[in-house]
Amino acid sequence: MAGYQAVVDFSGTATFKVDNSYAPGDVNGDGSVNSSDETLLRVLVKPRSRPATTDELRAGDLNGNGLLEYRYLILLKRILAGLPVNIRP
Ligand SMILES: [Ca+2]
C-alpha cells in the first residue's frame, strides 16, 4: 500500500486530517516518477491485471477520467523524457 504510516499518541481532543499525497505518474507512490512507475502501469493497464489501488489509480490516471488506460504509458514516457504532455479527457 502506498503512503506513509504515522503513529499518533494523544490525550484529549485532537483533530487532524490525513491526505494521501500523490504525484501524477508516481504510480508506485515512492515519491519519484521513474521507470518503475512505467513498469507498474504497464502491468495495471492489462485487461486481466489485478485492480489498481486507489492511490495507483489516482497517480496513473493521467487525464482524470477514472480509468487506467494503455495510452497513459505514452504520456508517462513523455513525462519521463521531460517532454510536454497534452492531457485530454
Ligand atoms: Ca514512483
CATH number at residue 44: 1.10.1330.10
| Amino acid (1-letter code) at residue 6 | A
**pLDDT 10s digits, 6-41:** 676 767 777 666 556 678 899 999 999 999 999 999
Alpha carbon of 23 to ligand 1 centroid (Å):
8
Q: Is residue 79 part of a domain?
A: yes
E strand segments, the chain: none
Residues with CB under 5 A from ligand 1 (ion): 26, 28, 30, 37
Q: Is residue 16 part of a domain?
A: no
pTM of the model: 0.72
Domain count, the chain: 1
Considering only the C-alpha atoms of the chain, give the largest distance between any 2 of them, rounded to a whole number of Å: 51
* Host domain of residue 43: 24-89
Give the residue with greater pLDDT, 44 vs 10. Answer: 44
Alpha carbon of 40 to ligand 1 centroid (Å):
9
57: which 3 cell numbers?
A: 489509480
Q: Is residue 1 part of a domain?
A: no
Q: Is residue 85 part of a domain?
A: yes
Alpha carbon of 19 to ligand 1 centroid (Å):
18
* CA 35, 36, 39, 44 torsion-angle sign: negative
Q: Is residue 11 part of a domain?
A: no
Q: What is the pLDDT of residue 13?
A: 77
74: which 3 cell numbers?
A: 505514452
List the one residue out of 48, 50, 42 whose CA is nearest residue 77.
Answer: 42
Q: Is residue 38 part of a domain?
A: yes
Q: Is residue 5 part of a domain?
A: no
Q: Is residue 45 part of a domain?
A: yes
**pLDDT 10s digits, 70-82:** 999 999 999 899 8
